[in-house]
Amino acid sequence: MLSERNSYFNKWEKRVLPFLLLLPAFTLIIGIVAYPIIRAIYLSFHSFNPLKPSIFKFVGLENYIRVLNDPIFIIALKNSIIWIVGVVFFQFLGGLLGAIILKQNFKGRAFVRGLSLIPWVTPSVLIAIMWIWMLDGNYGIINDILLKLGLISRYIPWLAQKDTSLPAVMIADIWRGIPFFAIMLLAAMEAIPDELYEAARIDGANSFMIFLNITWPLILPTVIITTMLRIIWTANHMDLVLIMTDGGPGFSSLIIPLMSYHTAYKQLNFGYGSTIAILQGVFLVIIISLYLRLLRKGESIY
Amino acid sequence: MFKKSQFIIFLVLILILFAFSIQGQKKTIVKYWLWLDDPTDPMFPDLVKQFNSLNPDIQVEYELIPLSQYYDKLVNAVGAGVAPDCARFKDWWLGAFVDANALEPLDSYLKNWNGYKDVVSNLWNTGKISAKSPVYMMPHQFITFYLYYRRDWFKEKNLPPPTDLSKFLEAAKKLTDPSKNRYGFGLRGGSGGQDQWLAFLVAQGARLVDRNGKVIADSPEAILANQWYIDLYRVHKVAPPSAPTDAYAQVLGAFQAGITAMMAHHVGSSVLVTQKLGEENVGVVPMPPSDPKKPATMVTMSGNVILSGSKNKEAAFKFISWLTEKEQMDKWSRSRQGQLPVLKSVASLPYYRNNIFFKVSLDQAKYAISWPPLPGVGYISAQLWQSLMQRALLGEITSKEMMEEIANALRKK
Amino acid sequence: MKKSEFFKYFFVFLWLTFILAPYIWIFITSIKSYDELYTFPLKYLPSKPTFEGYKLLIETTPFLTYMKNSIIVAIFTVTIALFVAILASYSFSRFNFKGKTPLSFVFLVTQMFPAILLAIPLFLLMRNLKILNTPFSLILAHSTFAVPFTTWMITGFLKSIPRELDEAAQIDGCTKLGVLRHIIIPLASPGIIAATIYIFIYSWNEFLYALTFTSDIKARTIPVGLHTFMGEYIIRWDLLTAGGIITGLPVIIFFMFIQRYLIKGLTKGAITG
């Protein structure tokens, strides 16, 4: 009798419970985001100005054909790739170093760990205008310091030059995102049992060997997931670019979400704006699936 | 991790929050949107309080929106059918909103408004989309572009005040010395620079549209005038290297820090500039024209509109017209948000006549020209101009290509 | 001091310099008087520091209201999103069922579009739910957008916990949910803390939805409030910088307290569990 109930319960746990556990998440996601996303996809086949809701014209694939032939989209795509790869790579590198430093035992560690969040918690509007100010070509502190160190011979308008505007915004974004990586990787490192380290030390391994053979493989799943999430996040967050250069000068720091925003809200062409965003979404889906597939060989993620 | 007590606190908080959101109202509620330059200034909240106590049947509720998101949020609200009854508005946006029938024509209300004749007549044009169209925006606060110059530096080099464009260029060249980080003119290629640019275009006699409303932004005169402006940066190099992305904060900062000798701006910065540099060192002249007999400058108006979806248009008009009356206008113009009053009776008060910055600005009102109220102007002022100007300043496109793109955007229906 | 000790503190110092330098510059700016903001050549330190900006911020702007709203929204968002995400990641990490991979991918797809594009339909949705201008609209939106990332993060951490531990507990008579509560959550606490920080900061700094869904000062959060300090012709540097400095403080202090749970992970759990 008891065992019968147990087997029934076991079946329930195996077949129903996993879906039940997912239910709240899916209720939220489908209830809130599904409609807006479907609507965006729907809009991308139409010509639509939100000020004139009555004129809503089906244009078929016109927007998609147009976007693939749009030279500005190609520029934005190129910038987006530089933006995503550069930002995420350096955030990861900085975050890894930060996590290793914060993992050590030292006086005032809790305090330092708290302070490490600062770039992350500072509202982006302030980060943007502060970096604009620091990078200013006439009275910015960065120019002043570089000049005093003799690294430059005259003030450089970092945000006003074609070649430096995107890298300048990237530096601000890298600074902002490093603590995110640092905290995630720190958490992963803290989850590694001390016994493993002790055993390695007894075997006479040096710090570098320990990192390579114990820490790295064990934090790898977190590295992979965090990097992937950061790629998606970085691809779509344009707040710093918007305030710091608004894509300029010219199109030199224009990235795809910003182009989509300009098209939708400044040109009032929501159809085309949606198309641009959806195309980036499609690219992202492809890249992320490839990324996961490549990495799944080594470690099963899902 | 999740205790029962925490859950109960959560539920209670939800209930409390609900209780707050339910409130009964009987008065006519007028929703008004605006942006303010300085949110610590009590001037506007005081005005609303005063209006609400004067009109017990109307309750004005206002919403303060950051200017950088104002246009987007208004577009969203109109698109979602939840626009406010009335709103502060810029002449740049008129074309796009009128084209979409989103604004209420105000003529029938204005007939019965007794301040109509007190408004400087040229300024009513800033609220229309053509000479014959009804008025859609009630003029309220405006600015005209003039030129600041460093009087002390001019004296040092024995230069005459830059009253026309050849004197302007001459002085700009003589005062530029990159080795000392000094430049003749603070050119604004970044966000918001289109007004300064248009002021220089019209001062050279170029126009974006002719009297009949035909777009002539790609005429040879306009292309040449634009070339002259681009040359300030590319050929004469009298503007700081950062000019392509410099926005208001940078241009103003450079002038205040003693990096630039001249800045084209308006009364909105006069207090900041004189505070920092000393009144004796700051000179001001009307926008220098190329032909002294044909002065021209640019005006931009911020006024008030009624959204066509409003159900309380009478009450909304009562409020926005009340804001435009003499006393309220004077209060607003004198506040930290202050721009030029559109009423003659206010402009003639000693406070404005005795202030050189107000005086020069107001005297320009007669001949000042605004952006043509075409649908494309919203896009040009929000985005297109900036990217074109920057590419022109960097030498990626020619003046002709730039003006053709502007003309195309203006022609677009 | 040993050589290695010296290096350790040297690196901590370098790290802090890197992290703090721009923030310190913000702080110095916040205590400069307006006259000293724009100078050439540049002046590093204020000649007469003033805390006027902080005083004005508290006294003449509704900043404390904004802060209260931000705290309410962030705390509820953390509670809801964390709860939902832990359940979902437990399902993803400990069960095998059909459609797991596509389902987990659906989570991510919601994050692949720029938020601005979803603003109008979400606004309509919130209006239909009649929760515009209340913290609920933000709690709901923030939770929804935080859940997918959080789920993935926590799933990653749960995967690294050996399954043998749950099996042992199940043999002892624990149900699956019991395992989650007594084994998994304590063991995954570093990851959960990291996720908490992520959700909190996301909600704390979220600007676009906060702007779109609230119009009343009573419901506004800090990021929107800060934007109002940038006007057409006036930028209130004093208020902006003072506001920026204050904004970070509660989160930093909060983290200083909870960071010690970062280490209560597998080490202790593995021994007692």
Residue B136 is predicted with a pLDDT of: 95
Quick one: average pLDDT of A192-197? 79
Q: Looking at per-residue confidence, does B121 or A3 come out higher? A: B121
Residue B383 has pLDDT above 90, yes or no: no
Q: Domain ranges in chain C?
A: 1-50, 56-272
Residue A125 has pLDDT above 50, yes or no: yes
Residue C270 is predicted with a pLDDT of: 41
Q: Name B319's bridge partners.
A: none
Residue C3 has pLDDT above 80, yes or no: no
Least confident of B14-23, B142-151, B379-388, C137-146: B14-23
Q: How many whole angstroms separate alpha carbon B78 and alpha carbon B76? A: 6
Residue A88 is predicted with a pLDDT of: 96
Residue C269 has pLDDT above 60, yes or no: no
When the pLDDT of each residue in chain B is averaged and rounded to a whole number, the result is: 90
Tokens of A292: 């996961």
Pick C40's closest partner by Cβ from B65, B181, B269.
B181
State percent of chain A over pLDDT 90: 28
Q: At B82, is the pLDDT very low, low, confident or very high (cuts 50, 70, 90)? A: confident
Q: Does A274 touch chain B (CB under 8 A)?
A: no
Question: Which of B68, B271, B339 to probe by mutation at the C interface, max C CB count within 10 Å?
Answer: B68
Quick one: average pLDDT of B16-37? 73
Residue A152 has pLDDT above 80, yes or no: yes
Q: Looking at per-residue confidence, does B284 or A162 come out higher? A: B284
Tell me the per-residue pLDDT of C154-199, one tens digit each, with 9 for 90 and over: 988 888 777 887 778 777 777 888 888 888 888 888 889 889 999 9
**Which residues in chain A touch residue B379, judged by CB atoms under 8 angstroms apart?**
266-268
Q: Looking at per-residue confidence, does B238 or A30 come out higher? A: B238
Q: How many whole angstroms separate alpha carbon B103 and alpha carbon A48? A: 19
Quick one: average pLDDT of B70-96? 89
Tell me the per-residue pLDDT of B268-294, one tens digit each, with 9 for 90 and over: 888 889 988 998 999 999 999 999 999
Quick one: average pLDDT of A233-246? 89
Quick one: average pLDDT of B357-371? 91
Supply the CATH classification number for the domain A36-296. 1.10.3720.10
Q: At C263, is the pLDDT very low, low, confident or very high (cuts 50, 70, 90)? A: low
Quick one: average pLDDT of B230-235? 96
Q: Tell me the three state secondary structure of residue C32.
A: coil
Q: Does A229 touch chain C (CB under 8 A)?
A: yes
> CATH: 3.40.190.10, 3.30.420.40, 3.40.50.150, 3.40.309.10. Which one for B26-142+301-359?
3.40.190.10
Q: Which of B189, B177, B120 is nearest to B153 (CA)?
A: B177
Residue C268 has pLDDT above 90, yes or no: no
Q: How many whole angstroms separate alpha carbon C211 and alpha carbon B79? A: 16
Residue C265 has pLDDT above 60, yes or no: no
Quick one: average pLDDT of A137-156? 86
Quick one: average pLDDT of B237-264? 92
**AA letter at C127:** R
Residue C106 has pLDDT above 80, yes or no: yes
Cα of B293 to nearest chain C Cα, Å: 31
Question: Does the distance separating the beta carbons of A122 and C88 come in below 8 Å?
Answer: no
**CATH 3.40.190.10, chain B: domain bounds:** 26-142+301-359, 146-298+372-411
Residue A301 has pLDDT above 60, yes or no: no
When the pLDDT of each residue in chain C is averaged and rounded to a whole number, the result is: 84
Pick A115's closest partner by Cβ from C19, C97, C207.
C19
Supply the CATH classification number for the domain B146-298+372-411. 3.40.190.10
Q: Does A209 touch chain C (CB under 8 A)?
A: no
**Which residues in chain B touch residue A165, judged by CB atoms under 8 angstroms apart?**
245
Residue C266 has pLDDT above 60, yes or no: no
Q: Does C261 touch chain B (CB under 8 A)?
A: no
Q: How many whole angstroms separate alpha carbon A260 and alpha carbon A279? A: 10
Residue C128 is predicted with a pLDDT of: 87
Q: Domain ranges in chain A?
A: 36-296
Q: Name B285's bridge partners.
A: B147
**Which residues in chain A touch residue C221, judged by CB atoms under 8 angstroms apart?**
none
Quick one: average pLDDT of A18-32? 90
Quick one: average pLDDT of B92-114? 91
Helix axes C119-128, C135-159, angle to 10 degrees: 120
What's domain C56-272's superfamily in CATH? MetI-like (1.10.3720.10)
Q: Which of B343, A257, A126 is nearest to C247 (CA)?
A: A126
List, as ranges, residues 62-91 from C with C-beta within 8 Å of A: 83-85, 87-88, 90-91
Tokens of B73: 């949020």
Q: Does B127 touch chain A (CB under 8 A)?
A: no
Tokens of B102: 């989103």
Any chains having at least 3 CB pairs less than 8 A from chain A are B, C
Q: Which of C198, C223, C195, C229 is nearest to C209 (CA)?
A: C223
Longest dimension (CA), chain A: 88
> Is-contact A238 C114, C-beta < 8 A?
yes
Residue A194 is predicted with a pLDDT of: 78
Residue A177 has pLDDT above 60, yes or no: yes
Residue A212 is predicted with a pLDDT of: 86
Residue A50 is predicted with a pLDDT of: 82
Q: At A133, is the pLDDT very low, low, confident or very high (cuts 50, 70, 90)? A: confident
For the ranges C37-51, C90-104, C138-152, the maximum mean pLDDT occurs at: C138-152
Any chains having at least 3 CB pairs less than 8 A from chain B are A, C
Q: How many whole angstroms separate alpha carbon C251 and alpha carbon A115? A: 10
Main-chain phi, psi angles of A46, to 5 degrees: -130, 165
Question: What are the respective helix, strand and coil percentages of chain B, to the nearest 5?
Answer: 50, 15, 35
**Which residues in chain A touch residue C255, judged by CB atoms under 8 angstroms apart?**
113-114, 117
Residue A275, C-beta contacts closer than 8 angstroms, at least 6 positions apart: A44, A63, A64, A66, A67
Residue A174 has pLDDT above 60, yes or no: yes
Residue C271 is predicted with a pLDDT of: 36
**Which residues in chain A touch residue B243, judged by CB atoms under 8 angstroms apart?**
157, 160
Pick C117's closest partner by Cβ from A121, A180, A277.
A277
Q: Does C53 touch chain A (CB under 8 A)?
A: no
> Is-contact B361 B340, C-beta < 8 A?
yes
Quick one: average pLDDT of B352-359? 92
Conformational region of residue B125, where left means phi above 0, alpha means psi within -120 to 50, and beta covers everything else: alpha
Tell me the per-residue pLDDT of C66-87, one tens digit each, with 9 for 90 and over: 999 999 999 999 999 999 999 9
Residue A71 has pLDDT above 70, yes or no: yes
Residue A5 has pLDDT above 70, yes or no: no
Residue B23 has pLDDT above 50, yes or no: no
